[in-house]
Chain A
Amino acid sequence: MHPAPSVIIFTTLSGLGFGLLVFLGLGVPDVSGWVAFVFFAIAYGLAVGGLLASTFHLGHPERAWKAFSQWRTSWLSREGCTAVAALLVMGLYAIGPVFLGQRWGLLGWLGAALSLGTVFTTSMIYAQLRSIPRWNTWLTPVLFLSLSLAGGALLSGQISLALVLLTLAALVQLAWWKITDGALARSGTDLGTATGLGTRGAVRAFEPPHTGSNYLLREFVHVVGRKHAQKLRLIAFGLAFAVPLALLLLPFSHVFALLAVLSHVAGVVASRWLFFAQAEHVVGLYYGKR
C-alpha cells in the first residue's frame, strides 16, 4: 500500500491524542486549572490535528460531513461518529477540571470509553479489509489500542503505567510483525485463484494491460523500501519502545520525559509507515507484483 503521509500522521497523532484523552477521562493525572487546560489542549491538538490530516487525502474534503451517515455498515463512518462524540463529551467533561475544579466521574468514563472506541474504529477500517491479508487480523485492533494506551500513559506522565503499557505494546508489535509476515501466503490467494487458471498450471503475468502506471499500481503496489523493512523495524522498535523505556527507568526529569515522548512518536511513525508500505494488496497479483 502507498504510505500516504496524511494517513500516517492521522493514525499516529489521533491515536496518541485519544490515548491521552482516555487517561484524562479516567482522572489520571487528577489535574485542574491551567495544568488541566494544557493537558486537554495537547490531547485535542493531537486528536483534532490527526483527524484534519486525514481529510487531506480526500478527493472532496468539502463533502466530508456526509461520512457521518453510514455508521450501520461502514467502519470509516463509525470512526467519524465516534470521534466527534468523544471530542464533544470530553470537551464537556474538560469544563469541570479546567474551570470549576470538579471531576464529573461518569462523564469522564464515558469520554474515555468513546476515545478508546475511536481508536478501535480506526483500526477496524484496516482490519476489516480481506483484500489486504496482512491487516485482516484481530491483532491489528490490539496493536492500535495498545500503542494508543502506551502513548497516552507516556503523555499523561504516568511513569509506572507507561512502563507496563509500553512493554505490552512492544510485545504486541513484535507479535503483529511475526504473525502478519506470512499472511498473504496463508490467505490462499495467489495469481492462480485471482485468474481462476491455477488448476491448469503455473500462472505467470506475461503482459501488463499498459506500459505506463495507473491508480491501482500507485495506490496498492508500493514496493519501495521493502528491502529496508527489517532495518526500519529495528529503528521503529528502538525508538517507540526501547528508548522510552530506558529513559523512564532513569531518575525522573522533564527533559527525559520529553525525549521519551518524542522518541516514542518517531518510532510509532516509523512503525505506521511500515504498516502501510509492507501491506500487500491482492490486486498486485494481477500485475505479477507479489
Chain B
Amino acid sequence: MTDLPEKTDRKMGLVIDLDTCVGCHACVISCKGWNTENYGAPLSDQNPYGADPSGTFLNRVHSYEVQPEQGAAQLIHFPKSCLHCEDAPCVTVCPTGASYKRVEDGIVLVNESDCIGCGLCAWSCPYGARELDLAEGVMKKCTLCVDRIYNDNLPEVDRVPSCVRTCPAGARHFGDLGDPGSAVSKLVAERGGMDLMPEMGTKPVNKYLPPRPKDRIDDQIDILAPLLAPVAEEPKGFIAWLDKALEKL
C-alpha cells in the first residue's frame, strides 16, 4: 500500500552545502554513471549525439544569482535531487503501489515492475525530482544509492551515495538526519540548514546549507591605492606653461 509510514527508524538523506558547491557537475555525472548500470532500469538518453540531446538524470545542478539590496550579486550553484520527503506526495498518489517509502531508513523508492508510467508522481513532486525514462516507460528517481550504502562488497569508504563520494569540494554530506547526534544533524544545526519550499508541507529530509556571506569590498580596492594617487592633478609653473604651449601648437 502507498500509505506513508507513521515514522521511519532512520531518516537517511543528504546535506548539500551551497557555500562550497563549485558547480562542477561531477555529482551529476557520477550519479548517472552509477545508476545507469546498477539498480533498476538504465537511465536512457534520447538522441545523445544529435542536435537536440536529452536524457534521464536523477540529479541536476542549477545556478542562481542572488542580488542583495546592497552589495555585489552572488552566484550560487544548486544541486537538486530527490529530498526523500517525510510527507512525500509522490508516494500517496501512486495508483499501483510502485512508489513507497521504506520504514527502516525513509528512502523513497520505485518498484519498477509495478510502475505503469502514468507520471502522476512526477506531477505531484514540487521539486522535479522524478523523471519518466522514455526508453523504459517507468519512473526513475534518486535511490540514495541504496545499492551502495549497504553493500558489503564495497570498501567502507565507498558505502555512501555516488554523488557524495565524488564531490571534489566536499559539498555533499550523507547520514541519518533523524539522529540529532549524527554528523549531518550537527552540521544542519550549526549552519542553519533549510528546507526547500517548506510551504508545500512535504517535510523534506534533505537539507541545504545556506551560503556564507562573501568578503565585502567597502571603500578601498587596494591598500596601496593612496600611494599610487596622481601626484599633480592640475599642472603648475613650468609644466603648466608647457602644457598650454603644446596645446596651442
Q: Can you list 21 A-B contacts (CB < 8 A)?
A: A59-B117, A60-B138, A66-B95, A72-B3, A77-B95, A77-B96, A131-B124, A132-B123, A189-B126, A193-B196, A194-B196, A195-B76, A196-B194, A196-B195, A196-B210, A197-B76, A197-B211, A200-B211, A205-B63, A208-B62, A283-B127
Interfacial residues, chain B to chain A (CB-CB below 8 A): 1-3, 18, 25, 28, 52-57, 60-69, 73-76, 78, 80, 89, 91-98, 114-120, 122-128, 131-134, 136-139, 194-201, 208, 210-211
Q: CB within 8 A of B61: which of A61, A63, A209, A214?
A: A209
Flag A41-71 by CB within 8 Å of B: 1 or 0 each. Answer: 0000000000000000111110110111110
Q: Given the known A-B contacts A57-B119, A282-B197, are A74 and B136 also in contact in the complex, defined by CB atoms under 8 Å?
A: no
Cβ contact within 8 Å between A66 and B116: yes
Complex Cα distance A75/B93, Å?
7
Cβ contact within 8 Å between A74 and B123: no
For A215, give the chain B residue with the smallest CB separation.
B131
CB distance from A280 to the nearest CB of B (A): 12
Cβ contact within 8 Å between A187 and B64: no
Complex Cα distance A128/B164, Å?
34
Residues of chain A with a CB closer than 8 A to B61's CB: 209
Interfacial residues, chain A to chain B (CB-CB below 8 A): 1, 57-61, 63-64, 66-70, 72-77, 80, 125, 128-132, 187-189, 191, 193-197, 200-210, 212-216, 219-220, 281-283, 286-287
Q: CB within 8 A of A209: which of B60, B134, B197?
A: B60
Q: CB within 8 A of A73: which of B2, B25, B118, B208?
A: B2
Residues of chain B with a CB closer than 8 A to A128's CB: 93, 124
Complex Cα distance A73/B126, Å?
19
A-B contacts counted at CB < 8 A amount to: 199
Cβ contact within 8 Å between B210 and A197: yes
Q: CB within 8 A of A202: which of B28, B67, B200?
A: B67
Residues of chain A with a CB closer than 8 A to B57's CB: 209, 214
Residues of chain A with a CB closer than 8 A to B118's CB: 57-59, 67, 76
Residues of chain A with a CB closer than 8 A to B198's CB: 193
Residues of chain B with a CB closer than 8 A to A1's CB: 123
Complex Cα distance A281/B129, Å?
13
Complex Cα distance A68/B127, Å?
27
Cβ contact within 8 Å between B131 and A214: yes
